[in-house]
Amino acid sequence: MVFYVLVFLFLMPFSWQTTQRPIVALAPMAGVTDASYRQLIKKLAPETVVYTEFLSTDAIHYGAKKTMGMLHFDAEIEHPFVVQVFGKEPEHFLSAAKVIEEMGADGIDINMGCPAAKVVSSCHGSALIKNADLAKRLVEATKKAVSIPVSVKTRLGWDCMDSLIPFCQGLIDAGADALAIHGRTYQGKFGGDANWDPIYELKQHVSVPVIGNGDINSAQDAVEKIGNLDGVMIGRGTFGNPWLMKDVVDVLVYGKEPGVPTVHSISFEEKIPFILYHCELAVRVKGEKRGMLEMRRHLASYVRGIDGASHKRAQLVRVERVEDVREILCA
């Protein structure tokens, strides 16, 4: 059964309407969901839809070297592969979308939810919630450029949720093929608990797939939160616990009992080969120096909660080679 699902996923052109249900997606996260993190998640849970970090349409339009490098992905492993973009110039969305489609992505997602001050003050990310006309024009420009699906990831609203349904309806009228909604407003940033109720209500009013996002930290959370939605998107819950994606896929897609989460059911010793594999991926994608530098944060998350965590963390934040990690973890 799993085999046939995977063959289907790899052979069919990706569509939000027909992809497996429930959809399980890795949230786009700047500084986190680079190629190595996406491939790590796909190794554990091949059914996951993976997103890039948000990438500037201006940078892609002008061919900026660093951003173009961030578009690289492993076509054999990373499917469905969605490139998330941000910006405010419709012309740049048009040209960036063409580049993204040509390099083989399965979908393009437009960021209309980032609350970072630098992003919002440039009229990007969450600021688009307050500029529904421009938001629609960005979707229209992207749709015009490509035949792959175009989705939007946004929040419940700016400072309240009243605009959620009309805002999303406008995006759908402009051509959006799917929506991912983080259950907080711009003002809510990352505080308090995510509120999924407005997302369930939105789903009752729209025809496109709707994915809910916010505060899923276990398979049980996913079961409790999915409600009438087409899928769930998971971000921070995977930090130090990429096994969460497998737990969620097992439970939501294959109907297994939530039971004991994998992360608690396998010992730290059993996790070590996988943590080393993550390091190897990071080195393969970014080279030893940068790859290991970026791994330090992940390594600190992996040892959270184990005996002697603080001692190990103090060592792991200085590692320079995969071998250093092996020595510290196996000591």
Ligand X SMILES: Cc1cc2nc3c(=O)[nH]c(=O)nc-3n(C[C@H](O)[C@H](O)[C@H](O)COP(=O)(O)O)c2cc1C
Residues labelled as active-site residues: 114
Candidate list 53, 78, 140, 230; residue touching ligand X; CB under 6 A: 53
Q: Quick check: helix, strand or coil at residue 38?
A: helix
Q: How far apart are CA 215 and CA 238, in angstroms?
A: 11
Binding mask 71-100 for ligand X (x = CB under 6 A): -------------x----------------
Q: Which stretch binds ligand X (CB under 6 A): 13-21, 140-148, 210-218, 288-296?
A: 210-218
- Work out whether 199 is an interface residue with ligand X (CB under 6 A): no
Any contact of residue 28 with ligand X (CB under 6 A)? yes
| 134 class by beta-carbon count within 10 Å (0-12 exposed, 13-18 middle, 19+ buried) | middle
- Residues 263-282 close enough to bind ligand X by CB under 6 A: none
Residues whose CB falls within 8 Å of the CB of residue 291, separated by 6 or more in sequence, listed in order = 36, 279, 282, 283, 284, 285
Binding flag, residue 27, ligand X (CB under 6 A): yes
Read off the amino acid at residue 77: I
Burial 245-280 (b: 16+ CB within 10 A, else e): bbbbbbbbbeeeebeebbbeeeeeeebeebbbebbe
Work out whether the CA dihedral 188, 193, 194, 195 comes out positive or negative.
negative
Q: Is 32 in the site for ligand X (CB under 6 A)?
A: yes
Residue 138 interacts with ligand X (CB under 6 A): yes or no:
no
CB of 11 to ligand X, least distance (A): 29
Residue 90 has which token pair? 């419709």
Residue 235 makes contact with ligand X by CB under 6 A: yes
Q: Is 153 in the site for ligand X (CB under 6 A)?
A: yes
247 forms part of the interface with ligand X (CB under 6 A): no
**Choices 42-50, 61-69, 235-243, 256-264 (CB under 6 A): range interacting with ligand X:** 235-243
Per the CB < 8 A criterion, the answer to whether 125 and 159 are in contact is: no
Q: What is the dihedral of CA 70, 282, 292, 311, to 10 degrees?
A: 130
Among the listed ranges 95-103, 233-241, 268-276, 293-301, the one in contact with ligand X (CB under 6 A) is 233-241
Q: In this structure, what are the phi and psi dihedrals at residue 50, rounded to the nearest 5 degrees?
A: -110, 140
Tell me which stretch binds ligand X (CB under 6 A): 37-45, 171-179, 211-219, 276-284: 211-219
- In the list 237, 240, 242, 291, the residue contacting ligand X (rule: CB under 6 A) is 237
The site for ligand X (CB under 6 A) is made up of 27-32, 53-54, 84, 111, 113-114, 153, 182, 213-216, 234-237
